[in-house]
Structure 1
């Protein structure tokens, strides 16, 4: 009965809107509109509460406290006024109990967050509600301002907009809640020094969780890959896992490929070497066993033994730096050294 009643009210509200004279809204019209909205929202919430009571779950709403109940009804009235169907709202709240609790507890804040999603992610309110319902237990502890500031961090840097922005947060929801904007900003600023703007955009869109990682560790990994392996920004941007490997895993994979003759430092005068080298995706994005068998072309057990030997050597050497640090001004000299070393090795083999 409650469902039928608020559906009738909602239909009346829609008819009333359609019949209103354009640009001529009187005070009595606004009052009537508000009354219908309030009645429809009240019946909707009562219907949801009744359904939960039938399932043995109790909700106590402050019906006698006008201010408190207005606050609880606020998001429902606003959404109904936007044309959201009451049956959709009822179904969403019954499907996700936490969503209903959040809406009656922090109605104004929740509605503002829904609006932020709609305006920034180019989505309708129904999809906005679905998105919030998926993460409501975490988002309810945030404020609209904190959510907007995190979104602005990415849109303001031109990393994504609209649907692309939405996909970033869907891939890594942690970026929306619990993350510190200042730390993410520092991380983005740091890695923007490594990559061209287009490549940075590719990385953030493919692997947005990079913004939550330690920028100092990222710098160490990037410097090794750039200086010691010779990969440039555009090439590394295609890999989705280099940032998740620890530094020693990167070094060990590279070392094994050097030992097995599967990788050579790129030489502009010998472009064939670069063509024959495995790509960053193959080196960094391949699981351990497949890396051993398909990339390095050794048995998996041999790879495990090699890693153990590398670890033992590191413990014995106890170096302050895990690899030779190369300043940008020293890169050409470093490349000449590598080239001479490779040519000497090739001469010995011949």
Structure 2
């Protein structure tokens, strides 16, 4: 018992004579903040003892953490993962486009989508004006695309293929989606695939787009599902018309009847549009490049003549309507004169 009491007295004597700063809570809190600022941890007793000793001697909190660079500079581009050559190219292009402070936000947004430095550099070459768009607008447009059911993989593909998509206002995208749904009768899933594979459709002229869809549907007999699978919206109307009419004139394509039947087997729309011109001529049309060039010139002449004839018909129709309106006005004037003449004669007879 005496030994236990002696041990306790020695212990409390040691505690009272130790440096009080080690156990002082405010100094310990300063030390804890100091180590957090530099990313350290108080898990090692030796490290914490050294930090405590430094705070005991200086009685000052360490310097605040250095903030990462937010200004657009070569150093910030290097921190993003660009090489020195890529950083120089990006810095020159963005400076020329006067992106300035918004460039860092645009680059961060693209990296957040999962795009690497080389892809971002290609995007900059295709669409330098993207780096002048404000961060709030970018987030709003990306959020709208996500609401349409386009996930991260689809967004990466769309932005890499057509980066101008992020410069298009949200209202324009919504209007194009509504047009495809109501006017062209595409389903929600088909519209999602169209946007993913052919994002440039949101900036196409809607009248030309509707005419192209009607041409493929009525003249070629192709349904909406095959249009989507064949990526029709990546092809221009002239390309579709040239290749279809060339096959039709050569007897290699036939418009289906009301039952969807033909006397020959038509080539698939994908095989007509999604091949280069040489492959189309050798494997589908079985013709030469000279024949195809001559046909395109003749077809262009036919289209001009049809437009002129249509213009004459409309002009003659307008003239006929104007003549009819003039005749109606003359008849009305004559009837008014007769009415007024009868009344004036009646008045003259009464005066007599």
Structure 2 counterpart of 1:234, from 216, 225, 234: 225
Structure 1 counterpart of 2:281, from 289, 292, 307: 292
- Residue 17 to residue 166, structure 1, CA distance change in 2 (3 Å): farther
* Matches of 1:128 and 1:273, distance apart in 2: 52
* Matches of 1:33 and 1:128, distance apart in 2: 37
1:142 alignment counterpart = 133
Q: Which runs of 5+ in 1 are unaligned?
A: 1-8, 20-27, 46-70, 77-85, 322-350
Structure 1 counterpart of 2:253, from 263, 270, 284: 263
* Matches of 1:93 and 1:205, distance apart in 2: 30
1:162 alignment counterpart = 152
Provide, for residues 100-146 of structure 1, a one-character-per-residue CA deviation record: whole Å limited to 9, x for no partner: 988x9528x8358626863xx3x4xxx57776565565343110111
1:110 aligns with 2:104: yes
* Matches of 1:181 and 1:200, distance apart in 2: 16
User: If the length of structure 1 is used for normalisation, what is the TM-score?
Assistant: 0.58
Q: Which has the larger radius of gyration?
A: 2
1:308 alignment counterpart = 297
Contact 2:35 2:42 in 1 (8 A): no
- Residue 12 to residue 154, structure 1, CA distance change in 2 (3 Å): closer
* Matches of 1:33 and 1:163, distance apart in 2: 44
1:209 aligns with 2:221: no
SS in 2 for 1:138: helix
* Matches of 1:297 and 1:72, distance apart in 2: 60
Contact 2:281 2:288 in 1 (8 A): yes
Contact 2:194 2:228 in 1 (8 A): yes
Superposition deviation, residue 36 in structure 1: 2.5
Provide, for residues 139-185 of structure 1, a one-character-per-residue CA deviation record: whole Å limited to 9, x for no partner: 43110111122213322222x112222221111111123x3333333
Structure 1 counterpart of 2:179, from 181, 190, 197: 190
For residues 9-158 of structure 1, the aligned pairs below 5 Å read 13-16=38-41, 35-38=64-67, 41=68, 72=71, 89=79, 92=82, 94=84, 95-97=86-88, 98=90, 106=101, 110-111=104-105, 114=108, 118=112, 121=113, 123=114, 127=115, 135=123, 137-158=128-149
* Matches of 2:235 and 2:43, distance apart in 1: 56
- Residue 146 to residue 138, structure 1, CA distance change in 2 (3 Å): same
* Matches of 2:154 and 2:169, distance apart in 1: 21
Contact 1:99 1:133 in 2 (8 A): no
* Matches of 1:16 and 1:150, distance apart in 2: 41
SS in 2 for 1:15: coil
Q: Which runs of 5+ in 2 are unaligned?
A: 1-33, 45-54, 312-352
1:280 aligns with 2:266: no
1:219 alignment counterpart = 210
Larger mean Cα displacement after TM superposition, 287-296 or 261-270:
261-270
* Matches of 1:296 and 1:307, distance apart in 2: 14
* Matches of 1:235 and 1:261, distance apart in 2: 22
* Matches of 2:120 and 2:247, distance apart in 1: 46
* Matches of 1:171 and 1:131, distance apart in 2: 10
SS in 2 for 1:37: coil
- Residue 16 to residue 116, structure 1, CA distance change in 2 (3 Å): farther
Contact 1:114 1:132 in 2 (8 A): no
CA RMSD of aligned residues (A): 4.2
* Matches of 2:300 and 2:154, distance apart in 1: 42
* Matches of 1:16 and 1:253, distance apart in 2: 70
